């Protein structure tokens, strides 16, 4: 799994490529640390190239959401595939995020 | 601005300059003490402001009536604070807190709310002149409502400090507005008292189990959530994969229950009883073959509503509408609705007879 982070003005975009499963989650946690340091703006989690998400991945998203909420920021989850959308729905995560 | 001050006034002004850092420090310290005390007492205020009188303002005051003051200590508003409340009764609560925190110089404190004649309207504010240990100067704390504050600011801008005598017509307009705002302040307080009373009644209804007497609205639903009506179902669902439950606000489901034509808390309670098995069956079917071990506390109500919609024949259109209410309209909800319909079709709850919730 690879994570590409870009910041433009007040919008930070994290693009996830590959499977966000349990083995990958430790590395991904480190990759998203810069986002957690300044979560006050808009954070876009671009999932266009994400193939799969596990519970560990959901926890990472949740951590980002909590950090953003505490600083008045917002999180947008973008372009999730149908399988991941179903995971969000089954776990009750669907209405935790703005999903585009 | 150059002021013509005599030697006595210059001496007072110099004393001010010498103590300015202390005034600034004390203003912030008093503001902090007030903030902490009011927060602790649960008194929500619109703002707490502090300021130290500027040198120019003090010089102006001395130029005007310098002979009145023997020393700087005679001027009581070098350090000034203002507490702006939302409700008029909170002004008295803040005053009570101030009374406990500081020593009040009652002789110089003014309750301007009591000074006005019964047939006049104008500036309503409570001014306390205070002292505190470790600070040799007196300071002023003004307390008023946000509407009184608005009026005072408008009056200040258009009134006595403009240097021009304003015509009677405008003075009368300002006075009329003060009367109107006083009425609004009272109305806000009355509404707050009545809402608190309604809340208590609803809580009593919920506690006594008379849920059919409690109409479904934001207040009643909040009280209902305090009873944790979805906890058992959520725990059962979490048990499928020994998942942790992430608590989230369940208030958005109020609109869904209203969409499902629940008119009272009793209706919601019956919906929970009728559909809990179905909700659990759905969750089991979805989760059992996954290793998902985290859920949010909205899973319970979400699956309850899905089971209810499907049992009532609402189909994928009803489920899509539910997701649209919760997350905003999206075409992707149609896919989820179809997916859920497919999953649920062979589950036992779909073949159970509905007993009619309402």
What secondary structure does DSSP assign to B249-309, as a single string?
Answer: --TTHHHHHHHTT--BHHHHHHHHHHHHHHHHHHHHHHHTTS---EEETTHHHHHHHHHHH
On chain A, the residues whose CB falls within 8 A of the CB of B296 are 91-93, 96
Closest residue of chain A to B301, computed from CA coordinates: A92
Interface contact A55-B246, CB threshold 8 A: no
What is the reported pLDDT for A86? 93
Whether pLDDT at B223 is above 60: yes
CA contacts within 13 A on the Cβ side of B122:
16
What is the reported pLDDT for B346? 87
Instruction: Give per-residue pLDDT as tens, B37-51.
Output: 999 999 999 999 999
Predicted-complex ipTM score: 0.91
The pLDDT-based confidence of B67 (bands split at 50, 70, 90) is confident
Whether pLDDT at B2 is above 90: no
The pLDDT-based confidence of B324 (bands split at 50, 70, 90) is very high
What is the reported pLDDT for B173? 85
- Say if A91 is an interface residue toward chain B (CB within 8 Å): yes
CB B279 within 8 A of CB B307: yes
On chain B, the residues whose CB falls within 8 A of the CB of A58 are 292, 294
Query: In a mutagenesis test of the B interface, which of A79, A89, A96, A100 is the best target, namely the one with the most B β-carbons within 10 Å?
Result: A89
The pLDDT-based confidence of A47 (bands split at 50, 70, 90) is very high
Mean pLDDT across the stretch B269-296?
93
What is the reported pLDDT for B254? 97
- Say if A86 is an interface residue toward chain B (CB within 8 Å): yes
The pLDDT-based confidence of B120 (bands split at 50, 70, 90) is low
What is the reported pLDDT for B175? 84
Query: In a mutagenesis test of the B interface, which of A52, A91, A96 is the best target, namely the one with the most B β-carbons within 10 Å?
Result: A91
CB B260 within 8 A of CB B310: no
Averaged pLDDT of chain A: 92
- Tell me how close the Cα of A97 comes to any Cα of chain B, in angstroms: 9
Domains, chain A, ranges and CATH? Answer: 2-99 (3.30.750.24)
- Residue B330 CA to chain centroid, in angstroms? 32
What is the reported pLDDT for B178? 86
Mean pLDDT across the stretch B244-261?
96
What is the reported pLDDT for B164? 65
What is the reported pLDDT for B231? 94
Instruction: Give per-residue pLDDT as tens, B168-215.
Output: 888 788 888 888 898 999 999 999 998 888 888 888 887 887 899 889
Interface contact A95-B326, CB threshold 8 A: yes
Whether pLDDT at B295 is above 90: yes
The pLDDT-based confidence of B15 (bands split at 50, 70, 90) is very high
Whether pLDDT at B358 is above 70: no
Of residues A58, A59, A94, nearest to B327 (C-beta): A94
Interface contact A87-B332, CB threshold 8 A: no
Whether pLDDT at A28 is above 90: yes
Interface contact A99-B292, CB threshold 8 A: no
What secondary structure does DSSP assign to B193-258, as a single string?
Answer: HHHHHHHHHHHHHHHHT-GGGSB-SHHHHHHHHHT-TTHHHHHHHHHHTT-EEE----TTHHHHHH
The pLDDT-based confidence of B118 (bands split at 50, 70, 90) is low
- The enclosing H or E element of A94 equals none
Of residues A54, A59, A62, nearest to B291 (C-beta): A54
Interface contact A96-B248, CB threshold 8 A: yes
What is the reported pLDDT for B235? 94
Angle at B38 between CA B37 and CA B40, to 5 degrees: 65
What is the reported pLDDT for B157? 66
Category of B87 on φ-ψ map: left (φ > 0), alpha (ψ -120 to 50) or beta: beta
| B292 vs B165, residue with greater confidence | B292
Give SS3 for B175: helix
- Tell me how close the Cα of B336 comes to any Cα of chain A, in angstroms: 7
What is the reported pLDDT for B354? 59
Averaged pLDDT of chain B: 89
Query: In a mutagenesis test of the A interface, which of B289, B330, B336 is the best target, namely the one with the most A β-carbons within 10 Å?
Result: B336
What is the reported pLDDT for B191? 92
Mean pLDDT across the stretch B225-253?
94
CB A65 within 8 A of CB A93: no
What is the reported pLDDT for B204? 84
């Amino acid at each position: 799994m690879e994570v590409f982070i870009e910041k433009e003005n007040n919008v930070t975009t994290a693009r996830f490529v590959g499977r966000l499963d349990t083995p990958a989650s430790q590395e991904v946690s480190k990759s998203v640390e810069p986002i957690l340091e300044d979560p006050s703006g808009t954070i876009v989690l671009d999932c266009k190239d994400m193939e799969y998400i596990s519970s560990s991945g959901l926890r990472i998203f949740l951590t980002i959401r909590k950090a953003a909420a505490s600083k008045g920021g917002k999180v947008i989850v973008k372009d999730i595939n149908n399988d991941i959308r179903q995971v969000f729905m089954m776990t009750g995560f669907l209405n935790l995020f703005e999903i585009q | 601005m150059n002021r013509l001050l005599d030697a006595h006034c210059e001496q007072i002004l110099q004393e001010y300059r010498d103590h300015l850092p202390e005034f600034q420090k004390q203003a912030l310290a008093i503001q902090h003490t007030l903030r902490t005390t009011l927060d602790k007492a649960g008194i929500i205020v619109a703002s707490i402001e502090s300021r130290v009188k500027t040198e120019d303002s003090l010089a102006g005051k001395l130029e005007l009536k310098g002979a009145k003051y023997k020393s700087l200590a005679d001027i009581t508003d070098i350090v000034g604070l203002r507490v702006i409340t939302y409700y008029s009764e909170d002004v008295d609560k803040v005053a009570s807190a101030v009374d406990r925190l500081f020593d009040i110089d009652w002789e110089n404190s003014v309750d301007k709310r009591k000074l006005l004649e019964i047939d006049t309207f104008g500036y309503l504010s409570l001014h306390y002149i205070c002292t505190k240990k470790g600070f040799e100067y007196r300071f002023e704390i003004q307390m008023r409502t946000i509407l009184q504050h608005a009026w005072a600011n408008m009056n200040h801008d258009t009134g006595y400090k403009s240097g021009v005598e304003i015509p009677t017509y405008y003075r009368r307009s300002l006075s009329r507005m003060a009367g109107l705002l006083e009425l609004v302040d009272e109305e806000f307080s009355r509404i707050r008292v009545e809402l608190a009373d309604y809340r208590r009644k609803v809580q009593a209804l919920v506690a006594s189990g008379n849920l059919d007497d409690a109409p479904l609205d934001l207040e009643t639903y909040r009280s209902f959530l305090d009873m944790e009506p979805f906890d058992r179902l959520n725990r059962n669902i979490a048990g499928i994969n020994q998942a942790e439950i992430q608590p989230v606000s369940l208030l958005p489901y109020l609109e869904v229950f209203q969409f499902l034509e629940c008119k009272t808390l009793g209706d919601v309670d019956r919906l929970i009883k009728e559909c809990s098995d179905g909700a659990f069956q759905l969750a089991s079917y979805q989760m059992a073959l996954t290793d998902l071990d985290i859920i949010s506390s909205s899973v319970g109500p979400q699956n309850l509503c899905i089971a209810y919609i499907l049992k009532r024949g609402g189909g994928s259109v009803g489920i899509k509408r539910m997701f649209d209410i919760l997350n905003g309209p999206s075409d992707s909800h149609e896919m989820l609705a179809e997916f859920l319909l497919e999953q649920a079709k062979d589950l036992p709850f779909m073949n159970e007879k509905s007993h009619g919730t309402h």
